[in-house]
Chains A and B, each alone.
Chain A
Amino acid sequence: MNNTTEIFVNGLWRDNPVFRQILGLCITLAITNRVVNGVTMGVAVFFVLVASSFIVSVIGEYVPRRVRIPVYMLIIATFVTLVYMFLRAYFTGLSQALGAYVGLIITNCIILGRLESFSSENGPWESVVDAAGISAGFAAALIAMSVVRELLGFGTLFGINVLGSGWTPWVSMILAPGGFLVLGLLVWIERSISPVEEG
């Protein structure tokens, strides 16, 4: 496996932000009761993370260490706002669904964590690949959770009824307890497939 593939796979699976690093849980628990929410959030984080990783990997060495966090926050907030303005102008429907997530992206610790631990110390190419891998891993985790929760909680997928009218929805799946339960189960499954090496 060459370096590029390895960085990508690390983000997607071995260092999966949700199942391995247990980061970004606020978003993960809150929005994953509909598959469409999971997909939308995944795409939005992808844009913001890849763009800000690239910028930070380029300018990182010129930023004094003591002000690096405010600089990162400014960069992230700028991209989030850009994405939001762009969506509102050209994809009205999507922006209405996304409106409430925007603030959540800025404070998403996965993004700040990647900028701090990876992009500030690596070149632009590696940083973009890492950002793509991590956001793909994040999106995959969101989608996995929302498929389980929407299916059991509403009996639907993407809003389309799949379990038939005889299905009694598990209301708790839509609510916070269902989120914790499914997250716990998925972390268990992921770690059974490839166990964590105790350092």
Chain B
Amino acid sequence: MKKEIWMVSVLLLVATISAVVLGLVNVTTKPIIEKNEAQNLRKAVLHSMEITPEADKIEETFKDQIETREIDGKTVYLRYNDEGGLENVAFEVSGSGFQGQVEALISLAPDLQTIKGLEILNQQETPGLGARITEDEFLRQFKGKVLDPELLIVKSGASGNNEIDAITGATRTSKAVQKIINEDVENVRSNMLTEDRMEELTHE
């Protein structure tokens, strides 16, 4: 009996120490991590709209150029040109990848069909295979592609203006990106950024 009590106590002690250490470190790093994530989001929004500010001017540039709107619970980032015309609309899209949640930010022209840019915010895909969706080589393909009728990922030799080359060895992750973009953009188009609402936003 004594042995069992000792066994349980040791396990309990180690678990408690571990929990306390992790808790303390979490308290100190959490605000920094949240700040980093907010900053990353701003950077992604700007980058998807082809604005590349200097590292120390991200927040400033973001405030200056981007209008953030909550539309029916969806955060939408808008950019107007100097004449007040709507140039870019960006929002987050997300869904299941091959191994975990994939979160991306898509930037569209005001027609909500032409892709201006795509950024991956978070993903847990296989390193070296699916995780290559974060690489420029894959992402820059999206620029200028049109969701008409919808985006299509092909194995190789993309030719149409709605076609994207899949990542070799990561067809399922590539297909997941296709599904996420098609479904989420469609959802936003029909529920949040309806034609009427876009009309309002364009003439501001």
Contact = CB atoms under 8 A, between A and B. Distances in A.
Contacts of B40: 92
B25 A85 contact: yes
Contact of B25 (A62, A63, A82): A82
B32 A89 contact: yes
A30 B32 contact: no
Contact of B11 (A70, A96, A101, A175): A70
Interface stretch (A14-22, A32-40, A184-192): A32-40
B22 A78 contact: yes
Given A30-B126, A82-B21, A171 B168 contact: yes
B108 to A, nearest CB: 24
A106 B26 CA distance: 19
Interface stretch (B2-10, B71-79, B187-195): B2-10
B128 A30 contact: yes
A88 interface: yes
Interface in B16-69: 18, 21-22, 25-26, 29, 32-33, 36, 40
Contacts of A85: 22, 25-26, 29, 33
A183 to B, nearest CB: 14
B127 A30 contact: yes
Interface in B131-148: 131, 134
Contacts of B22: 78, 81-82, 85
B10 A63 contact: yes
B14 interface: yes
A99 interface: yes
Nearest to A78: B18
B15 interface: yes
Contacts of A37: 127-128
Nearest to B35: A89
A66 B128 contact: no
B10 A67 contact: yes
A89 B40 CA distance: 12
Nearest to A159: B135
A177 B133 CA distance: 21
A74 interface: yes
A174 B15 contact: no
B169 interface: yes
Contact of B128 (A33, A64, A96, A171): A33
B10 A32 contact: no
Contact of B7 (A67, A74, A171): A67
Interface of A: 30-34, 37, 62-64, 66-67, 70-71, 74-75, 77-78, 81-82, 85-86, 88-90, 92, 96, 99-101, 171, 174-175
Given A64-B6, A171-B169, 17 more contacts: A31-B128, A32-B128, A66-B7, A67-B7, A67-B11, A70-B11, A75-B18, A77-B18, A82-B22, A89-B32, A89-B33, A92-B36, A99-B124, A100-B123, A100-B124, A174-B128, A175-B168
22 contacts: A30-B126, A30-B128, A31-B127, A34-B128, A64-B3, A64-B6, A64-B7, A67-B11, A70-B11, A71-B11, A71-B14, A74-B14, A78-B22, A86-B25, A86-B29, A88-B29, A89-B36, A99-B122, A99-B124, A100-B124, A174-B168, A175-B168
